[in-house]
Amino acid sequence: MPIPDVQSVATTLPARYYTDPGVFRDELERFFCQDWICAGRTNQVLKAGDYFLREVAGESIIVTRDGNNSLRAFFNVCRHRGTRICALDKGHFTGRIQCPYHGWTYGLDGRLMGAPHAHEGFRHEDYPLNPVHVDVWDGHIFINLSADPAPLAGQLEDLPRKFRHWQMAELRTFRSVKYEVKANWKLIVTNYNECLHCPILHPALSAISDYLSGENDPPHRGYIGGSMEFQGGAKTMSKDGKLRRDYLPLLTADERSKVYYYAIFPNLLLSLHPDYVMTHMLWPRAVDRTDVICELHFHPNAMAKPNFEADDAVEFWDITNREDWAISELSQAGIQSRSYKPGPYSRCESLPHAFDQMVLNREKLDREKQASKKSVR
């Protein structure tokens, strides 16, 4: 067998992509302020006036429903003197959104309704809340902070068709857990997209799922991912692999026999199981710190049964998550060493390498755009 050329071997990224605050700020703008990012689930805002907040790249965003039950998103900034309007992470507006400072009041659609002591000739229509683009895919709410984004459908590509049998819009959130991980957001994505570490790091997971099984999709512009198969008689990912809930209604026999793990750039990790769906949303806070919100979603018919239980899955994934967060933090610590140099990926790590290439390609594209703007000037 010929020895591969060292120069052609795929390697991990240089340290600056995980340790340089300047690179981190650029990535926040490039990915989290220009792309569609997953903010939550439609079942978090069931009624007009329900709201929750998301913080991204230093911006606080309100996600709510207006009087017509349409989803809305706004910058959490009053148009009077710039005060943040909402302080609580979630709640309910009683028909209006009011700034706690001087009482400027907005409708649920963002229109300015009241501005106490405004000057003569003041035009309320000139001062609505600053809107944020919002769209929905199968129960997942996406927001986009850019001025004129391309449609969400283009970023998702073929995922709506690929995952239609899970009917995710019908599912309801059973448990939500927030983790604070002392690692760069990209390390969490790359860890999620390979399971070579599973026999060493995840003994419980490895007992019920074959880490070398399944198939990976060819890398796409907006996502990477693939499947893994059960083993040892397991039927689902839980503490013992036993199926305690009905299969999701429309799944085929083949879909019931696998778990599907997909990273939808930049911040949604989507895990599709035979009887539930799990999501991770990544919220970068610093170059070496990321908040992760993990949620498990089940079919409402299953949740309505008097004998419904889901702690088997919740506890299993809490253990697995904490194992992943701990190793991601060790990766962050090691990469910060002056001795770190990019290391070679194995032939089984094509998805992490594809993610790295996407990061580099987006960086290159941005530099070319900036150079083009300067040449025009």
**Which CATH number applies to 158-358: 3.10.20.30, 3.40.190.10, 3.90.380.10, 3.40.640.10?**
3.90.380.10
Q: How many percent of the chain have pLDDT more than 90?
A: 91
Q: Are 197 and 327 in contact (CB under 8 A)?
A: yes
| pLDDT per position as a tens digit, 177-199 | 999 999 999 999 999 999 889 89
The residues spanned by each domain of the chain are 35-153, 158-358
Q: What's the pLDDT score for residue 2?
A: 40
Average pLDDT over residues 102-129: 96
333 vs 175: CA distance, rounded Å: 30
Count Cβ atoms within 10 A of the Cβ of residue 80 and give its class: 0-12 exposed, 13-18 middle, 19 or more buried.
Answer: middle
**pLDDT higher than 70, residue 283:** yes
Q: pTM score, two decimals?
A: 0.94
Residue type, 63: V
Return phi, psi of residue 340, to 5°.
-65, 135
Average pLDDT over residues 148-158: 97
Question: 255, 253, 247, 233: which is closest to 298 by C-alpha?
Answer: 247
| pLDDT per position as a tens digit, 215-274 | 899 999 999 999 999 999 999 999 999 999 999 999 999 999 999 999 999 999 999 999
**Which CATH number applies to 35-153: 2.102.10.10, 2.60.40.1180, 1.25.40.420, 3.90.1150.10?**
2.102.10.10
Q: What's the pLDDT score for residue 4?
A: 41
146 vs 164: CA distance, rounded Å: 28
355 vs 360: CA distance, rounded Å: 9
Torsion of CA 136, 140, 141, 146, to 10 degrees: -80
Q: What's the pLDDT score for residue 6?
A: 44
